[in-house]
């Protein structure tokens, strides 16, 4: 079993990873500034340290005390529009914060970082679904900052022997996703239709996304504890779903009579997306298992119960 740190472990994906690590018997610490994370989502068997990855003194104390072996690095500024409006803050958290984590890994002998990256790094597709060989051309500061840290991971591997795995997620969704955060369209739609509120669709609604359930992402993260060193892996379903179709499915499943209203498309957002995950199938034997309908049911049930 490993001593693990999960940065951003009070958040949507991070808290599910923490649950899985604890269930498998790993000694798990969460570092989260709770700016978007929720203290109540942190597994009671995990240790919670409240603070930011940008806080050098706190990071140093945390690493020195616990001597982590594996770091799951999820702490980040994750909203595309926030990154467009405030690229300085985006870079501070996603690049400088990440570098500070890597420096602590070097100083305290951690063996591996498993990094939650994003399909946004690719930019507009030359072909679909996009595999790992697809050109990387970010079209927003968020995507650029996420990809920048991928380079620092490779540098740390070359210079200091720190192993890593980069996981590039498609559009994650599932229970605990924040319905008040612009990045979580499934949660936003589900929360609004259940409350009889009309959601906003930006653009014509024909933009596509590839929705991958958090349970599938958690499996991949745990599968990388001792595998996929030095690898970047796409995690998606390979299926495009339009935003209009997504809304219609959620509204129909919820029995809601609301209709969306449309607004101008937003800068920095991709028009089409789907990921080819065959490399993940080869390297860690990973394939998505949660079908979209099943996954949407889990989100609607979560909001209904909470």
DSSP state of 42: S
C-alpha to C-alpha distance for 301 and 306, rounded to whole angstroms? 8
- Is 262 an annotated catalytic residue? no
Residue in 83, 87, 120, 126 with CA at minimum distance from that of residue 270: 120
Task: Kindly report the backbone phi and psi dihedral angles of residue 172, in degrees, each rounded to the nearest multiple of 5, phi listed first.
Answer: -70, 145
For residue 227, the tally of other CB atoms under 10 A from its CB is 12
Q: Which two tokens stand for residue 67?
A: 């001597």
- How far are the Cα atoms of 53, 136, 168, 259 from residue 146, in angstroms, in the given order? 15, 11, 10, 34
- Give the CA radius of gyration of the chain: 19
Q: Pick the catalytic residue: 72, 115, 142, 169?
A: 142
Task: Give buried/exposed letters for 33-55 (b at 16+ CB in 10 A, else e).
Answer: beebbeeebbbeebbbbebbbbe
Q: Which two tokens stand for residue 36?
A: 């978007």
C-alpha to C-alpha distance for 159 and 13, rounded to whole angstroms? 30
Where in the sequence numbering do the catalytic residues fall?
A: 142
């Amino acid at each position: 079993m490993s001593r693990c740190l999960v940065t951003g472990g009070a958040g949507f994906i991070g808290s599910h990873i923490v649950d899985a690590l604890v269930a498998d018997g790993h000694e798990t610490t969460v570092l989260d500034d709770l700016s978007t994370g929720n203290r109540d989502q942190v597994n009671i068997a995990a240790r919670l340290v409240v603070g930011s990855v940008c806080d050098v003194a706190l990071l140093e104390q945390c690493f020195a005390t616990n001597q982590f072996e594996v770091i799951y690095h999820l702490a980040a500024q994750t909203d595309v529009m926030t990154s467009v409006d405030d690229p300085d803050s985006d870079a501070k958290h996603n690049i400088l914060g990440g570098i500070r984590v890597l420096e602590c890994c070097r100083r305290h002998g951690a063996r591996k970082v498993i990094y939650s990256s994003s399909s946004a790094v690719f930019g507009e597709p030359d072909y679909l679904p996009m595999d790992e060989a697809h050109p990387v051309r970010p079209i927003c500061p968020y995507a650029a900052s996420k990809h920048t840290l991928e380079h620092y991971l490779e540098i740390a591997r070359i210079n200091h022997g720190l192993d890593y795995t980069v996981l590039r997620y498609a559009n994650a969704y599932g229970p605990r996703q924040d319905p008040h955060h612009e990045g979580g369209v499934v949660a936003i739609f589900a929360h609004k239709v259940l409350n009889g509120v009309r959601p906003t669709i930006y653009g014509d609604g024909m933009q596509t996304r590839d929705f991958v359930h958090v349970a599938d992402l958690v499996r991949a993260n745990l599968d990388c504890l001792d595998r996929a060193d030095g690898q970047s892996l796409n995690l998606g379903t390979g299926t495009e779903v339009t935003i209009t179709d997504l809304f219609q499915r959620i509204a129909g499943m919820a029995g809601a009579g609301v209709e969306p209203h449309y607004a101008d498309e937003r800068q920095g957002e991709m028009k089409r997306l789907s990921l080819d995950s065959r490399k993940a199938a080869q390297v860690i034997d990973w394939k998505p298992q949660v079908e979209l309908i099943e996954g949407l049911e889990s989100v609607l049930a979560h909001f209904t119960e909470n």
